[in-house]
């Protein structure tokens, strides 16, 4: 794979002695580093990040996910100068426990449906609560007897996990989930990496990111630009609401097609990116 395709600079001087603060030759390609410099030079900006696969490596057991130490350190450093948010498909409390982010970092869970700025969100209306219960029951029935398949319940959705299942089992049960409970009236279905999430309300990281930007701007100086980084197909919804012409920056983590203009290869590269950005903002 070419350096252009990974977002990493293959130049020989970007070797082991080039630490994460070493500047534009520290492993980020020239186009991404230039975008970071321009982004960091603005006034109030928002850095929003997916968690799993972005700050934390993907693991078989979701409860075992933790941010890489270098990413956690960079996040704390960046939060001292910049608005920072984690935007995840996880339930808000689960995200808080796994991420262990600095207090200044805003947490947005449930694919944009729950925010730490709105801890006392109203419960679901009775008809939506009934739909959510039905979704959980129907996914439970699909998971029963299929090794490696399990169901997670969130405040507004139910999630079918297939990462630990055989590939043919994962494909079959995912298709059944989408064509069965996922096709019920009023259900918002999303397919991610080894998951099918069925929401009793509209889901989407893009809407959550847009609402967060508006809320922060209403409470103080306007947010001039947003940087969002994510690895999953569900993150494309967030990339879609960015405006590169207005200074927004999208960073895809890993392979696969994406609307993001920039790309890095792994969570380790995200830690390098965040450390570089923290240094630029401290200037």
Extended strands (E) in 112-205? 114-115, 150-153, 157-161, 188-192, 195-199
On whether the CB atoms of residues 164 and 172 are closer than 8 A, the answer is no
User: What are the strands of the beta sheet with 106-109, ordered from one edge?
Assistant: 114-115, 106-109, 83-87, 45-49, 225-230, 249-253, 262-264
Same domain, 98 and 177: no
Residue the block writes with tokens 């590169």? 244
Residue with the two structure tokens 């049960």: 173
**Residues assigned a catalytic role:** 50
Same domain, 228 and 113: yes
Contact indicator for 49, 55 with CB cutoff of 8 Å? yes
**Mean pLDDT on 51-72:** 94
pLDDT of res. 283: 87
Residues 187-221 pLDDT 10s = 999 998 899 999 998 888 999 999 999 999 999 99
User: Residue 3 pLDDT > 70, yes or no?
Assistant: no
pLDDT(14) > 50: no
Nearest to 184 by CA among 172, 200, 173: 200
pLDDT in tens, 79-107: 999 999 999 999 899 999 999 999 999 99
Higher local confidence (pLDDT), 33 or 21? 33
Q: What's the pLDDT tens digit per position in 21-32?
A: 445 535 789 999
Distance CA 94, CA 89 (A): 10
Percentage with pLDDT > 90 across the chain: 78
Q: Give the H/E segment covering residue 190.
A: strand 188-192
Segment among 9-18, 177-186, 255-264 with least mean pLDDT: 9-18
The verdict on residue 161 lying in a domain is: yes
The whole-number pLDDT of residue 95 equals 95
Q: Encoding tokens for residue 251?
A: 């960073």
Between CA 201 and CA 78 the distance in angstroms is: 33
The answer to whether the beta carbons of residues 213 and 224 sit under 8 Å apart is no
Structural domain range at position 19: 3-117+221-282
72 and 167 in a single domain? The answer is: no
Per-residue model confidence (pLDDT) at position 6: 39
Token pair of 70 as six digits: 């270098």
251 touches 269 (CB < 8 A): no
pLDDT tier for residue 155 given thresholds of 50, 70 and 90: confident
Is the domain of 61 the same as that of 150? no
What was the pLDDT predicted at 121?
61
99 and 50 inside one domain: yes
Which CATH number belongs to the domain containing residue 24 in this structure? Answer: 3.40.50.1000
pLDDT in tens, 231-277: 999 999 999 999 999 999 999 999 999 999 999 999 999 999 999 99
């Amino acid at each position: 794979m070419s350096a252009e395709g990974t977002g990493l600079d293959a130049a020989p001087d970007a070797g082991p002695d080039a630490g994460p603060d070493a500047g534009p030759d520290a492993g980020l390609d020239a186009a991404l580093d230039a975008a970071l410099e321009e982004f960091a030079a603005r006034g109030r900006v928002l850095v929003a990040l997916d968690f799993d696969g972005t700050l934390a490596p993907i693991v078989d057991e979701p409860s075992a996910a933790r941010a890489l130490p270098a990413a956690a350190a960079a996040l704390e450093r960046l939060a001292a100068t910049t608005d920072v948010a984690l935007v995840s498909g996880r339930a808000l409390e689960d995200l808080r426990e796994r991420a262990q982010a600095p207090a200044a970092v805003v947490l947005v869970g449930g694919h944009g449906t729950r925010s730490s700025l709105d801890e006392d969100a109203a419960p679901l209306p009775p008809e939506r609560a009934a739909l959510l219960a039905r979704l959980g029951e129907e996914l439970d029935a699909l998971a029963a007897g299929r090794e490696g398949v399990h169901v997670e319940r969130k405040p507004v959705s139910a999630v079918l996990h297939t990462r630990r299942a055989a590939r043919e089992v994962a494909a079959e049960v995912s298709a059944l989930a989408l064509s069965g409970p996922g096709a019920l009236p009023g259900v918002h279905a999303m397919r991610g990496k080894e998951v099918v999430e069925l929401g009793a309300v509209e889901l989407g990281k893009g809407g959550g990111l847009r609402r967060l930007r508006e809320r922060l701007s209403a409470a103080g100086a306007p947010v001039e630009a947003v940087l969002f980084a994510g690895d999953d197909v569900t993150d494309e919804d967030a990339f879609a609401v960015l405006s590169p012409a207005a200074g927004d920056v999208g960073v895809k983590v890993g392979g696969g097609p994406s609307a993001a203009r920039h790309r890095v290869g792994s969570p380790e590269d995200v830690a390098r990116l965040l450390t570089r950005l923290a240094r630029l903002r401290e200037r």
